[in-house]
Structure 1
Amino acid sequence: MSSQFDALGRMYEEMAELPWRRDLESYTVLEVLGGQAGRSVLDIGCGTGQYCRALRRAGAGRVVGYDISAGMIAHAAEREAGEPLGIQYTTEPPSDGDFDVALGVYVLPYATTYPELVDLCSVAARALAPGGLFVTLPVNPDYAGDPAYYEPYGLRLHEDEPRADASRITLELCFGPYEATISARYWSRCALQSALVDAGFTDVAWHAFRVSPDGLRAHGPAFWSAYLRCPHASLITCRLGR
């Protein structure tokens, strides 16, 4: 299946090293996930495998990266061939029902209807064992309306339609030599929580982002204040019902 992400592998690799991704997003996600020793993890929408590699190095046992973008999976598999970590990459969603953890970073914003939103949540539900943890990052329902607000962090977020469930938004990536746009959809807090519950999840919780000590030392608190005040993404955890 072709995807708007097929040709963006190299850019995504470099984007993973931007301060907001490395020292804020990834730092917080890994903190929320906690210890990984021996756990089995499915990364839904794994892209080039950034989180797969981080989780494997953190001690996760079985790690599977799933993405519908053949280009992204090819890029991730090339990285795996050059630096074997025992990660499996696939364009078919696993439905084993025995993963301990599912991760879905910037996956839910690509649902264009509410049933599609539930279906994306259900990809995680079908893969997880009862009680398994799902960690996902949608677009923040209260993101800043000014596209320039996030420019210091290497992106712009445009409202293409009045803000409502399934309304169109455009993420513009603008850092270094890169200029690329990605089409996505807005979902309200109510819709996100309802979709997770409809997919079989409980204990839905929203978490604040934190900055790593290295990030604070390197850039200072002032650099991070605007993003922390109004991040472009939210961080949600939930558990599959037993």
Structure 2
Amino acid sequence: MSREAVRAVGIIEEVARVFREENASILLFKASVPPSGVEGEVRIIVSADLRDEKQAERIAQKLRRIRYVSRVEYAKPIIPGVGVDAWSHPQMLHGDRALVLSEIYMREIMVFGWGGIGPGFAGLMYRAFFEAGRKMYDELYAKLVRTREDFIKLLEARARLLGWGVLKVVELTEDKAVFRVYDNIECMSLKGIEGAENSMLRGLIAGVLSGYWKTDVYHIKPAETKCIARGDPYCQLEYRKEKYEPLV
């Protein structure tokens, strides 16, 4: 659809009406709009339960008659009963390409890392994710954040959107920070692995904090005082702005 559709009232209703007239159940409806100042069209992707390709073509013809619609395409199931989004490549998040890593892969990475490498695996992951977190701060947070409250809101939202879990900032001062992470995918994957502890998310948050506190990896001391992998209801990550010697 052209960008004018963003300000048009009733467009979504018109799209939904076409499927209702065809007695087709909408299973998924999502829309994306290019950021302000960026060229591009509005995209709407609908997943629907249709009888056959004839019905799909009939719906497409009706959709093409809706105002502001510039193009309509549909994708047939790749195998019986399995339809996929054929257009959303690459996956994007806040302008960056994103990789979707399911829990089964996370679990295998943890099992192999801790089983084959041991504590050194945690040191490597902490440092790698620290550097990623710092770059994330420099390229995103530094441009958007104006206040302490802005920083907290963005940090909590990104942790959830990236799939780490539900992050809550318990305390944030100029030299101390305390976070709780509920439903933490990393530590849920660590259950049953002896001696394992949070390293990736701990490093990522430390890296972001280093930008907020204007310091480096050698002056943020991390600690995990509670962990889902050990049976606690949430993970608690604590940081202090003081001298620290990371393993890597």
TM-score, with length taken from structure 1: 0.22
The structure whose residues are more often strand, as a share, is: 1
Which is greater in Rg? Answer: 2
> Which protein, 1 or 2, shows the higher relative CO under an 8 Å CA cutoff with sep ≥ 6?
1
The structure whose residues are more often helix, as a share, is: 2
